[in-house]
Amino acid sequence: MSRNVRVRVANTFIAASAIAGGLVLTNHFHPFTSAAASTPTPSSSASTPAGSGSGSGSSSGGKSGTKTSDAIPYQFGQVQLTVTEANGKITAIDYSNSSASNGREQAYPYLVQYAIKANGSNFSNLSGATYTTMAFQQALDNALAKF
């Protein structure tokens, strides 16, 4: 295979990866849900009925109430979360005091969904928003530690 062909193949792969990442961040495609599932609408909070979260996380049973994390600065903004728990299950996460630059705030609805499902910060990074995910997880752990 000639060098020109290898360069074209590599450039095509890079372009396709960039487009796929852009689709995920702009809510046009979400690889973790089926086409029939609804995507979250950007808002300042999200919630699910108590007891619907599953999986392991940093949260343990019996705690109830609402706690706010410290503001966690990172290179694209800051994350501050208000977490509501009922009987040890995360029921809502408000991120209205959080900021992010260059469209990274679009990751917050997905991160809220992942955290509620995992009932803690034990979930994978959101592709294209690694630093935002890590700051979100740190803020979530900080708020949960206050319970």
Residue 15 pLDDT greater than 90, yes or no:
no
Residue 25 pLDDT: 56
Residues 8 and 80 grouped into a single domain:
no
Residues 98 and 136 grouped into a single domain:
yes
Residue 81 pLDDT: 97
Q: Which of 57-61, 118-122, 131-135 has the lowest mean pLDDT?
A: 57-61
Residues 6 and 24 grouped into a single domain:
yes
Residue 45 pLDDT greater than 50, yes or no:
no
Residues 47 and 30 grouped into a single domain:
no
Residues 76 and 131 grouped into a single domain:
yes
Confidence of residue 143 (pLDDT cuts 50, 70, 90): very high
Q: Are 101 and 64 in contact (CB under 8 A)?
A: no
Residues 30 and 63 grouped into a single domain:
no
Residue 93 pLDDT: 97
Residues 79 and 133 grouped into a single domain:
yes
Residue 8 pLDDT: 82
Q: Kindly list the strands in the beta sheet with 65-68, ordered across the sheet, starting from the edge strand earlier in the chain.
A: 45-47, 89-94, 82-86, 65-68
- Terminal Cα distance for the chain, rounded: 60
Q: Return mean pLDDT, the chain.
A: 78
Residues 26 and 57 grouped into a single domain:
no
Residue 63 pLDDT: 83
The Cβ-side half-sphere exposure at 70, using a 13 Å CA radius, reads 8
Residues 27 and 84 grouped into a single domain:
no
Q: How many domains does the chain have?
A: 2
Convert the pLDDT of each residue in 51-105 to its tens digit: 333 333 444 457 899 999 999 999 999 999 999 999 999 999 999 999 999 989 9
Residues 26 and 97 grouped into a single domain:
no
CA distances from 134 to 7, 32, 36, 108 (A): 33, 19, 29, 12
**140/12: higher pLDDT:** 140
Residue 4 pLDDT: 83
Question: Domain of 10?
Answer: 1-34
Confidence of residue 37 (pLDDT cuts 50, 70, 90): very low
